Structure 1
């Protein structure tokens, strides 16, 4: 049977674009359909604009520190309009780069919604239908609102980048990395931030000591953070929304922002109708080669709800091309993925938490917390933390956790060592770079405890 295309990709985010252009570079006839903007969650409504907002939000402290270092600093207020205009121009530029990468590699682009009609047929909202030997679903995910009275009035993460003006006050619901990052960003931009999380501590799944320090630092910076708290209902009122909380408080906030989870974009795509298995959260169930229960249909990225990170989606896309178009079956490697959370301070982490590791085998814990030189000189009380989780038996470093400004930059390089299987003695043999915060990673000689 002859097909219109060798590969039809649904979704123009980081994973789908990478798979499409690399397959096309291998000589495959490739098409890609995207119903919204090219670049997906990461480029358009996630990591990239978020990180630019992080940079913007750090300047008030930087200017305060500059005064402590002897500079005369004069600054006006922050202009959200000026920043967001420039931000949108940058996102437009990046979307153009993505389109150019695709067209430059000979990928045919359709600005349309795509649904699957059968194992080899894609139908577009333009009325066109195409056949393909292989179909790759890379439609990502979306934020969800909780099911409670008035929730339709609240913001989700997609909305934050499109505000006409910053609110004076905001209530953030949630304790994951999106909630915590935006709490820090908006606090830095001058918004009065309150955060409710129903659990016992924010950033569930991360190292307990690391998330404890971040919570402490967030409170010190002026964020009104409440754990063990959730909202019962919200109603429009003069000046914003009246919130009733489980902790008994009633308060009015100008805006309410729900960061309470994400859902894979699989609704109305015809997936189950053609035999593609979906999981409980609507995610596409795939094997280690990203293949679905329909052999010609594959899926990568957040739509599979495996590890929802941009670099992971890109690696899954590359592994798919190796497997399907290069004759080199390549399973996706989800082990020891370095991660950064851009709170203030940042968390950088790779490998197991102390809690995970100690549940599996006896471990030694090396940890230090201190005031970094730059902030201490400026009179700040901020603390940072460096932590290694080490196997007693093999001496391998099972986990590395950093809470500090620039932790994301540090963990990328620490991640290389941990992925290679470095031991504590390998770290010890490495000469310190002085004076830096990260030198503590190689100078901790005595464990503070065993677990």
Structure 2
């Protein structure tokens, strides 16, 4: 039998790679090596979900201070100290990175702080020149922000740089309409930045329920964010007073910061995979089967590099399923369905299951909608409105989708996802006693459908 240096070598120290390495080593008894060329924790911990959510929290305080006054508190808000926040954020990310490292070391994983590439089906080569043989290789290198090739593209920043800005701009342009772009538009707006958002499509948050994303867009605009859909940047140019952004329709505006959040590409380039017969699709993603296995039997891939469902919890589950299958003798496929997600726009959007448009294409669907002013901000005199929406199959009565817009939407949709994943019917929701007074009680008190869409088969 061939003797390998490792049973598993993981390339990438993000959420999916770390989970796979830990389970394979601690529970599967495998000898595991892991290489990470940047910081341990990957996009989510270092330059994604975690710092972004902390920035969302920070940017919400102006409204909270206003609300506190309405509730009788004698409070005065001062200026936002970006350098102080940035320093505290950096310290928190250091703590999390060290926790990831500690977890891996505790499981017996050998960490290599350098770049690794695949030399053959059972060999990895480090940037240091070291080579290691391994029975299995896992690619977990994630994704990377994409900036289109336009004149002046070097003047733009991406989400990677947003957490380390030397100072906050006065005027910012956010290019893109996805969740990253829309979240940063809300963050900067909360920090007092004048924000304009360009998106080439008809409405931001493509892929989410049309009614829900329209609700979010209207609230963002009411908060002062200028959203221009149906347009895109043609060129960027440095001026004496800022960055001039010229659009495809000939208009031009000047900004202090231009953030490109127009998508992310799988980070599979330059790993040596194609030469070995690993298939790369037209989007640059590593092609895998339902077991996360590539066309080369010893090489697997999980997370955003496969471009399946690009969410941190999905990468974790894919990595865990891989380790269970290969090293624990528990064959496991992760099913990419009914995956809940939250968009930390302001207001927040939580979603699980089908959108109204998807449900209507599937067949006759009852649509239940509640839109209301929540008690908390109503008392403070704000005009916020929450949206609760359930999509119900007319024939089976199963709840096909749930969409929530408003404070705590992500928290609520996590619990709704359990019920929907179990096949709950509208009657299951109806017989659930409401928790009062809460916003979430609307999910179990909507009795009559607002409309019916789709056709009965």
TM category (shorter chain) comes to over 0.9
2:123 maps to which of 114, 117, 121: 121
Match in the other structure for 1:303: 305
Match of 2:14 in 1: 13
Matches within 5 A, 1:2-41: 2-25=3-26, 26-41=28-43
The answer to whether the aligner puts 1:230 opposite 2:227 as a matched pair is no
Q: Write the distance in 2 (CA, Å) between the matches of 1:140 and 1:184.
A: 25
Alpha carbons 2:23, 2:324 under 8 Å: kept: no
Q: Distance in 2 between matches of 1:431 and 1:246?
A: 54
Match of 1:313 among 296, 312, 315: 315
Equivalence for 2:166:
164
Is the CA contact 2:16–2:315 (under 8 Å) kept in the aligned structure 1?
Answer: yes
Q: 1:214-271 deviations in whole A, cap 9, x for unaligned?
A: 0000000010111111111110001211111234421110111100110111111100
Aligned residues: 451
Return 5+ residue gaps in structure 1 as ranges.
none
Verify: 1:403 aligned to 2:408, yes or no: no
Work out the CA distance in 2 between the residues paired with 1:136 and 1:150.
Answer: 37
User: Could you say what secondary structure the match of 1:161 adopts?
Assistant: helix
Establish whether residue 250 from structure 1 lines up as the match of residue 252 from structure 2: yes
> 1:46 matched to which residue of 2?
48
Distance, in Å, in 2 between the alignment partners of 1:161 and 1:103 is: 28
User: For residues 299 and 248 of structure 1, what CA distance do their matches in structure 2 show?
Assistant: 44
* More displaced 10-residue stretch of structure 1: 326-335 or 417-426: 326-335
Q: Which moved more, 1:240-249 or 1:265-274?
A: 240-249
TM-score by length of 2: 0.98
Consecutive unaligned residues in structure 2, runs of 5 or more: none
CA–CA separation in structure 2 for the residues paired with 1:108 and 1:248: 55
The equivalent residue for 1:70 is 72
- For residue 281 of structure 1, report the CA deviation from its aligned partner: 1.3
Q: Which of 337, 340, 343 is the matching residue for 1:341? A: 343
- Alignment correspondent of 1:95: 97
Q: Distance in 2 between matches of 1:250 and 1:263?
A: 28
Look up the SS of the partner of 1:374 in the other structure.
helix
1:353 corresponds, among 342, 352, 355, to 355
- In structure 2, the residue matched to 1:239 is 241
Structure 1 counterpart of 2:139: 137
CA offsets 1:345-399 (integer angstroms, 9 cap, x no match): 1000000000001101100000010111111111111111000000001000000
- RMSD after superposition: 0.7
Tell which deviates more after alignment, 261-270 or 285-294. 261-270
2:29–2:327 Cα contact (<8 Å) kept: no
Q: Does 1:271 align with 2:266?
A: no
Deviation sequence 1:61-84 (CA, Å, 0-9, x none): 000111111111122100000000
1:111 to 2:113 alignment: yes
Secondary structure class of the residue paired with 1:402: strand
Say yes or no: does 1:217 pair with 2:219: yes
Looking at structure 2, the residues matched to 77 and 125 of structure 1 have their Cα atoms a distance apart, in angstroms, of: 46
